[in-house]
Chains A and B, each alone.
Chain A
């Protein structure tokens, strides 16, 4: 588990995103070579079902993040409801109970921005269906740091406000349907510099 982490895949979703999240993670192989980190807005401050449901869907190890947990390959990490999930450094997560951002905790902006600070161009941010603008600013941070910004196409989103907010910020290079997101994630090369020219 001490292999260096090439990229980190960060997925943010809200209303109407659960099905797409399931679709994405069921399609990732058990030996997927990047850690996948997911923040989904939750209605309550505690909802273990989000992680439990994902666990049934994936051949990868699905873990609800506890504070200062190590970021490892071969796992899908899920933000616990009621906490912000941050990337503390290249090896560890951290949690916070700071006030909600965009009325949300976990906030996708908080996750994406902290990831952009730490992993920079190695971030792959994916913003899915949702009803508010959380995640758009964070995705912009990722793109500005040289990482990939992927937005679910508004047409394929049950609720299009969140992807649209990102597109409105000018993140429009990779507007993808769920099937295309899956293909994209499976096509990412391990070496970061080999495809940054495409970005």
Chain B
């Protein structure tokens, strides 16, 4: 291993330790490859020469502690990403949820909000939104504020409308958004069903008891052990016969919870918790 790589690796380890000490966030279970990439991109963007230079900033600048976590954990979401999963939820999950008087849904790691908006829209069209309470959480306080506002980062594109149609959308996507000052915002009547809260999957406990939990493309940033711990937490948040959805390219086949789940749709990684 050449020495520059080696030194950077050790600097990232020090930074993870410093973040834990000064900010209280534990990134030790994050996947090293993507974390290192992010850290390096970050120091380039702010004009620092080495990763270690972040450590005194953390130690002596209180405002920096939350900011750095926000800058390193920013994820974006998309409207109707992976349309197949929405189709399958329409077909295989929502009909079952219809039999419940009230439905709790948790979108864990909601990032900039587009996924949870999509869920609200698809529930509305299925006639379930009025019975649904959707919780959307993220570790990142800044993107959470963005998501809470209902304002889209990027105004609706043709691709969004296409994915909405492919997801089984029955209306016109733009109908769910209002425009003001050149920005598009999710209709308040939909936004009112979504409750945005800060939650850290790594360090916080079970968030709620839900009929449907979605945690997609969040655990790809975690190492295998942390994934297993988070999967336990997600599993514990799902009621008997409730559903868990993870990212299409994520896998829980080798996890502890696999035996307690029934595969509802393999391609879209939709699972149902077996009754105990």
Whether A68 and B5, one on each chain, are in contact in the complex, defined by CB atoms closer than 8 angstroms, is no
Min CB–CB distance A98 → chain B (angstroms): 7
- Which residue of chain A has its CB nearest to the CB of B83? A46
Chain A proximity mask over B21-48: 1 for CB below 8 Å, otherwise 0 = 0000000000111101110000000000
Within 8 A of A (CB), among B75-113: 75-76, 81-82
Chain A residues whose C-beta falls within 8 Å of the C-beta of B5 in the assembled complex: 116-117, 120, 145
Within 8 A of B (CB), among A104-134: 110, 114, 116-118, 120
Whether A69 and B37, one on each chain, are in contact in the complex, defined by CB atoms closer than 8 angstroms, is no
Chain B residues whose C-beta falls within 8 Å of the C-beta of A64 in the assembled complex: 249
Residue tally, chain B, CB below 8 Å to A = 26
B247 at interface, CB cutoff 8 A = yes
Knowing A46-B82, A88-B31, A114-B37, the reply to whether A67 touches B220 (Cβ < 8 A) is yes
Chain A residues whose C-beta falls within 8 Å of the C-beta of B31 in the assembled complex: 68, 86, 88, 94, 96
Whether A94 and B34, one on each chain, are in contact in the complex, defined by CB atoms closer than 8 angstroms, is yes
Complex CA distance for A110 and B40, rounded to whole angstroms? 13
B227 at interface, CB cutoff 8 A = yes
Min CB–CB distance A102 → chain B (angstroms): 13
Whether B224 and A92, one on each chain, are in contact in the complex, defined by CB atoms closer than 8 angstroms, is yes
B250 at interface, CB cutoff 8 A = yes
Chain B residues whose C-beta falls within 8 Å of the C-beta of A92 in the assembled complex: 224
Min CB–CB distance B172 → chain A (angstroms): 22
Knowing A67-B219, A94-B31, A98-B38, the reply to whether A144 touches B2 (Cβ < 8 A) is yes
B1 at interface, CB cutoff 8 A = yes
- Which residue of chain A has its CB nearest to the CB of B253? A66
- Which residue of chain B has its CB nearest to the CB of A118? B33
Knowing A67-B249, A96-B34, the reply to whether A120 touches B2 (Cβ < 8 A) is yes
Complex CA distance for A92 and B254, rounded to whole angstroms? 14
Min CB–CB distance B269 → chain A (angstroms): 9
Chain B residues whose C-beta falls within 8 Å of the C-beta of A146 in the assembled complex: 2
A76 at interface, CB cutoff 8 A = no
Whether B33 and A69, one on each chain, are in contact in the complex, defined by CB atoms closer than 8 angstroms, is no
Min CB–CB distance B215 → chain A (angstroms): 13
Complex CA distance for A83 and B221, rounded to whole angstroms? 12
The one of A65, A97, A114 in contact with B217, judged by C-beta atoms closer than 8 angstroms, is A97
Chain B residues whose C-beta falls within 8 Å of the C-beta of A145 in the assembled complex: 2, 5
Complex CA distance for A94 and B48, rounded to whole angstroms? 27
Min CB–CB distance A96 → chain B (angstroms): 4
Chain B residues whose C-beta falls within 8 Å of the C-beta of A67 in the assembled complex: 219-220, 247, 249-251
Whether B34 and A98, one on each chain, are in contact in the complex, defined by CB atoms closer than 8 angstroms, is yes
The one of B2, B9, B220, B251 in contact with A96, judged by C-beta atoms closer than 8 angstroms, is B220
Whether A95 and B249, one on each chain, are in contact in the complex, defined by CB atoms closer than 8 angstroms, is yes
- Which residue of chain B has its CB nearest to the CB of A88? B33
Min CB–CB distance B154 → chain A (angstroms): 13
Min CB–CB distance A195 → chain B (angstroms): 19
Whether B37 and A98, one on each chain, are in contact in the complex, defined by CB atoms closer than 8 angstroms, is yes
**Given A67-B247, A68-B223, 13 extra CB contacts under 8 A:** A45-B81, A66-B251, A68-B251, A88-B32, A89-B33, A92-B224, A96-B37, A96-B221, A97-B217, A97-B220, A98-B37, A114-B37, A118-B33
18 A-B pairs in the complex with CB atoms less than 8 angstroms apart: A65-B249, A66-B251, A67-B220, A80-B249, A86-B33, A89-B33, A95-B220, A95-B249, A96-B31, A96-B34, A96-B221, A114-B37, A116-B5, A117-B9, A117-B33, A120-B1, A145-B2, A145-B5
